[in-house]
Amino acid sequence: MVQFVAFGMLSRILQSFTVKPVNGTCYKVPVGTLAFCNWSKMQRTRREMLRAHTFPRAFTNKFVALEDLISSETEKLLVKLPSYALNQKSLILQTCANIFIGHFCSKIFSHHDPDFIKMVENFDEIFYEVNQGYAADFLPFLLPFHYKNFTKMNSHAHEIRSFIETHIIQKRYDKFQGKEPEDFVECLAKHVKECEEPKFDWNTALFALEDIIGGHSAVGNFFVKLLAYLVNEPEVQRKIQMEIDSVTEDGRSFRPVKLSDRSKCPYTEGAIFEAIRLISSPIVPRVANQDTTINGFKIKKDSLIFLNNYDLSMSEELWDNPDRFKPERFVVDNQFMKPEHFLPFGGGRRSCMGYKMVQFVAFGMLSRILQSFTVKPVNGTCYKVPVGSLALSKDTFVFKFEKRM
């Protein structure tokens, strides 16, 4: 095992470590997911198929459709949030799920649909389990002690697959006739039905679909943590609100803020990235795809290494007062600026395919919520955000949303 923080070498290093390790962690997730597969031709093809959907270019039809989707789902959230004294995380997760499913699958569900609610809960439980650190992740002989958890997660995965086939796919695969795909579901159907290279079956395609839909759990959990930071930072909230007001002022009133306003809101974007910095994964495992060296140390192909992501995010040499929540550290000359040493979504070939979705959804929801409300603490609630894990438990923070005058 090698631990390194030499961010000046990262570009070269990331090209030599494009494989994610296969170890005890794999018992927690379905085989074939994008997040845990190797750097094969199939993996590269699946990433390319996703790219147009996860990285929609500004002002294209896909971008405008995503902007409208985030706005419409956030408006529904605004109506419900103030009256939800408990389980606000569930409501936020359902909003994120509808944004993801609407964007990738052209389908929207009612927040009262019991099957939809169960699907969201299943994804969240799997996300929570995957983010727990167990010795079995690196000592596979301990796996039998986790058999009960494994059985439970497997059951959740089967229920998710059943929901997707019944409520999202339905007969879309059979009916697809080779036209220009309109969403990710049709991209997968076209690839499988037309036997495009590299060939993969519909079951593999469904794994890819489940993988990207499941990204809503990561975004929803992150967003709750973001609110937990902001509830302790009323001055940060005030600055975000002032920035949004300056962008959306329309005569004597204010229009709803939207995704395309993002470039004019560097401080709001900085607040999102400051939360990402504070909660990003402390270590990132990789496997060498070739013989290489790091700072003079010889690394053989297939060796496991760990990137010390915690140091890149929390080092006093790289950040001023790293323990403090300071969105302004990402704002230079009134422009959003991300330091090159900050790699919360990885880098190189294996960078996270969903990082733009995190930014888009978080900005769309946060800006509209703070345009309408100030987030206040609930008496008796501790808002200490846990670090080292991206996931929150089901019963977590609750907030009071006070209407702005």
Which of the four pLDDT bands, split at 50, 70 and 90, describes residue 178?
confident
Contact 222, 281 (CB under 8 A): no
- Predicted confidence at residue 349, as pLDDT, reads 63
User: What is the pLDDT averaged over residues 222-234?
Assistant: 98
- Predicted confidence at residue 350, as pLDDT, reads 61
CA–CA gap between residue 246 and residue 196 (Å, rounded)? 50
User: What is the pLDDT averaged over residues 127-154?
Assistant: 82
| Beta partners for residue 377, in sequence order | 399
Contact 122, 160 (CB under 8 A): yes
CA–CA gap between residue 301 and residue 394 (Å, rounded)? 40
Burial class (CB in 10 A: 0-12, 13-18, 19+), 214: buried
Which of the four pLDDT bands, split at 50, 70 and 90, describes residue 3?
very low
Tokens of 211: 């993988």
| Domain count along the chain | 1
Contact 95, 117 (CB under 8 A): no
Phi, psi at residue 400, to the nearest 5°? -110, 130
Q: pLDDT tens-digit profile of 326-383?
A: 999 999 999 999 998 887 776 666 677 888 999 999 999 999 999 999 999 999 899 9
Would you list the DSSP string of 262-319? GGG-HHHHHHHHHHHHHHS-SEEEEE-SS-EEETTEEE-TT-EEEEEHHHHHH-TTTS
- Angle formed by the axes of helices 184-193 and 41-54, to 10°? 150
- Predicted confidence at residue 308, as pLDDT, reads 76
Q: pLDDT tens-digit profile of 99-112?
A: 999 999 999 999 99
Which of the four pLDDT bands, split at 50, 70 and 90, describes residue 13?
low
26 has binding-site annotation? no
SS3 (DSSP) at 197: coil
- Predicted confidence at residue 28, as pLDDT, reads 47
Q: Within 13 Å of residue 375, how many CA atoms lie on the same side as its CB?
A: 30
Which of the four pLDDT bands, split at 50, 70 and 90, describes residue 33?
low
SS3 (DSSP) at 133: coil
Residue-number span of the structural domain to which 274 is assigned: 2-403
Q: pLDDT tens-digit profile of 287-335?
A: 777 888 877 888 888 887 777 778 888 889 999 999 999 999 999 999 9
* Encoded amino acid at 302, one letter: D
CA–CA gap between residue 97 and residue 214 (Å, rounded)? 8
What's the CATH number where 215 sits?
1.10.630.10
CA 244, 249, 254, 259 dihedral sign is: negative
pLDDT surpasses 90 at 169: yes
- Per the omega criterion (within 30 degrees of 0), is the bond before 322 cis? no
